[in-house]
Structure 1
Amino acid sequence: MARPKADLPASEAVQALIDGEGRLAVRVTPGARVEALEIAEGKLLAKVRAKPQDGKANDAVRGMLAAALGLAPSRLELLRGATSREKQFKVAG
């Protein structure tokens, strides 16, 4: 059975959470049943199916963020939180 596509908020809503220096904070839930990005109480929450081993969950979050922002995944750099649920990405450009 094919996986359903991730549920993504509007690009403008995600872009509004990027600070003046191009940083985006994300709270991640790895190993979730569904993949989704949601905005709750002014924070971006990411749920990914990937398990947190060998950077797979980080790569999945980067891919979802890139899709939501309409960017290539290479334009997002993980600044902080490689082994934490609280992550911070730098959005290039």
Structure 2
Amino acid sequence: MLVKRADVWVKELGLSNIHFMYANATTSFNQLVSTNPGPLMLVSILCPDPYFKRKHHKRRVVQKPLVDSIVNNLAPRGRVYTVRCT
């Protein structure tokens, strides 16, 4: 699993401020952020919307509830990055 491999890389590099997890961001974001001990400074969304057909838009990751959760939890001067994959 990619998350487990990423955790290995973080440990190999000796980094302590990077965390990966496998979760459904649309339904779990508020709960995950509320357990974080520090401010939310960066949200990075990679390849967010692979569903291009209109009938599949309901499956997209970036939807209003998630965007609202990010905006409400992001610290002042926090940033959001999205990388679109084609």
Q: Settle same-fold status: TM greater than 0.5.
A: no
Which protein shows a greater Rg? 2
Higher strand share: 1
TM-score (norm: length of structure 1) = 0.29
The structure showing larger relative contact order (alpha-carbon pairs under 8 Å, at least 6 residues apart) is 2
